[in-house]
Structure formats: structure tokens, C-alpha cells
């Protein structure tokens, strides 16, 4: 059984087409109209080993907000669809990732109850033209629509680029663990029998 999904999302602000393969090798084709955001999604794909094809046309002449938020929503929906009933997965995954002076902890529970728990203060407000507050907006939409509990916490860091990139990489590594099939797990990894 393949664990793949494709999602199309069209609004008055964005047009998104994307696909994911949870059992990939981290192959990606990313085009969002925001260079820094492309860089972050590339890291997410590469380090989670989730193949991603993401094409976004958004109202970036306003700013990157709608593009980033709506991509998080669509990518979360795709992850949830690709996971199916979650039979046989590890469910939980945690990772601490350094990037130079930045150190970020990510912890994931594929719980069916989507929520982001963010403790990542970022002092600089921009990375190039990218508003640093948009990193949180991406993860809010992604966690909610994926149905995952996602904790992101900054343990150290001053450089905004490093902090945000470490968030994407630590989330990717935690997802990789949580989404993996565990040969010792039979059925749904929950005492309730459903996620």
C-alpha cells in the first residue's frame, strides 16, 4: 500500500498543487515564489525523507503570509491523507537539531488532535524579505490539518535564519521517526484503537 497523497487548494489569495510520498527518499520540487520558504520546504523534504512536489502561486506582491499559511494547510492535509488509518506507524518522534548557535527541539505525536505548541522566540523580524513570524504561521496550519501534536522549542539561538531552519529540520527528523512503519506494531498504535 502506497502512502501518497495529492492536494489542490485554490483561494482568492493562493493556488496550490502539491503531492507527498511518505516512503520516499527526500526528493523534492519546490516553487512557492518565496526563496527563503522554498529553502525551508526543501529542508523539510530532505530531512524527513518525504518526497514533495509543491507548486504555489500566491499574492506575494502583498507579502508572503497567504502563501506560507496556505502551504502549511495544504501540506498538513496531504500528510494526514497519506498516513491513512496510521496502522503500524511509530506515532511518536522527537529530535533536537543544532544549526551553528541555534538548537531546536521538535516533538511529534500523530495523535489525530492537531495543535502547535510553539516556544521559539525570534528577535530579528526579517530574513531577507521573509517575515520571521511566518514560520509559526506555517507550523500552525500544518499541525492542525495534519492532525499532529507538534512541540517546537528553542533551546539556544540568535540568528533568525539558523533558528527557523533548525525548526524545519528538527520537525522533519521528528516526522521521519513518527511516520515510519514499526515492524513490532500491529494495527493502530493507540489503546483507543483509533487516531
The superfamily (CATH) of domain 4-179 is: Imidazole glycerol phosphate dehydratase; domain 1 (3.30.230.40)
Q: DSSP letters of 27-60?
A: -EEEE-S-HHHHHHHHHHHHHHT-EEEEEEEE-T
Q: Which tens digit of pLDDT belongs to each residue from 172-188?
A: 999 999 999 999 998 88
Give the pairing of strands 14-21 and 51-58.
antiparallel
Task: Using the Cα atoms of residue 89, residue 94, residue 98 and residue 103 in order, give the sign of their dihedral.
Answer: positive
Higher model confidence: residue 193 or residue 173?
A: 173
**Spatial separation of the C-alpha atoms in residues 18 and 169, rounded to whole Å:** 20
Q: Which tens digit of pLDDT belongs to each residue from 86-124?
A: 999 999 999 999 999 999 999 999 999 999 999 999 999
Q: Which tens digit of pLDDT belongs to each residue from 21-73?
A: 999 999 999 999 999 999 999 999 999 999 999 999 999 999 999 999 999 99
**Spatial separation of the C-alpha atoms in residues 39 and 33, rounded to whole Å:** 11
Contact (CB, 8 A) for 106 and 151: yes
Question: pTM of the entire structure?
Answer: 0.96
Count the Cβ atoms, other than its own, within 10 Å of residue 125.
10
Amino acid at each position: 500500500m502506497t502512502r501518497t497523497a495529492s492536494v489542490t487548494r485554490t483561494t482568492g489569495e493562493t493556488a496550490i498543487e502539491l503531492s507527498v510520498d511518505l516512503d520516499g527518499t527526500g526528493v523534492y520540487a519546490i516553487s512557492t515564489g518565496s526563496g527563503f520558504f522554498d529553502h525551508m520546504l526543501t529542508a523539510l523534504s530532505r530531512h524527513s525523507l518525504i518526497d514533495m512536489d509543491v507548486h504555489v502561486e500566491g499574492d506575494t506582491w502583498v507579502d508572503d503570509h497567504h502563501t506560507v499559511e496556505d502551504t502549511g494547510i495544504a501540506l498538513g492535509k496531504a500528510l494526514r491523507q497519506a498516513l491513512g488509518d496510521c496502522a503500524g506507524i511509530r506515532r511518536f518522534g522527537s529530535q533536537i537539531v543544532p544549526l551553528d548557535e541555534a538548537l531546536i527541539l521538535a516533538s511529534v505525536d500523530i495523535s489525530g488532535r492537531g495543535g502547535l505548541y510553539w516556544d521559539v522566540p525570534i528577535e530579528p523580524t526579517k530574513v531577507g524579505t521573509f517575515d520571521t513570524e511566518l514560520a509559526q504561521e506555517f507550523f500552525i496550519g500544518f499541525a492542525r490539518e495534519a492532525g499532529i501534536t507538534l512541540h517546537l522549542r528553542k533551546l539556544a539561538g540568535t540568528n533568525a535564519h539558523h533558528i527557523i531552519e533548525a525548526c524545519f529540520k528538527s520537525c522533519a527528523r521528528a516526522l521521519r521517526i513518527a511516520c515510519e512503519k514499526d515492524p513490532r506494531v500491529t494495527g493502530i498504535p493507540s489503546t483507543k484503537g483509533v487516531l
